[in-house]
Amino acid sequence: MNGKHLFLTSAGLTDKMKEKFFDIIGKCPKDVKVLYIPTAGIETDGARESLAICFHELFLMGIQYEN
């Protein structure tokens, strides 16, 4: 395998998924790259707030904002 992994979720990361995330990916948080593709419209305040919360949760997991 080429060392690249794809982790898809349609409901964010539950606490249990967060526990297993780095085991599945096989990298430390600072080396993880994230591509976040919102499928719902982000034109509402609620949707934009949800997006910000998702990015903050990734940051709390140790994934750097620039990744």
pLDDT by residue (tens digit) across 15-63? 888 888 888 888 888 888 888 777 766 677 777 787 888 889 889 999 9
pLDDT at 42: 66
Residue indicated by tokens 């910000």: 52
What value does the mean pLDDT take over residues 1-13? Answer: 73
Task: Provide CB contacts within 8 A for 53, sequence distance 6+.
Answer: none
pTM of the shown model? 0.68
| Cβ proximity of 21 and 13 under 8 Å | yes
- Residue 1 clears pLDDT 60, i.e. is over it: no
| Cβ proximity of 55 and 36 under 8 Å | yes
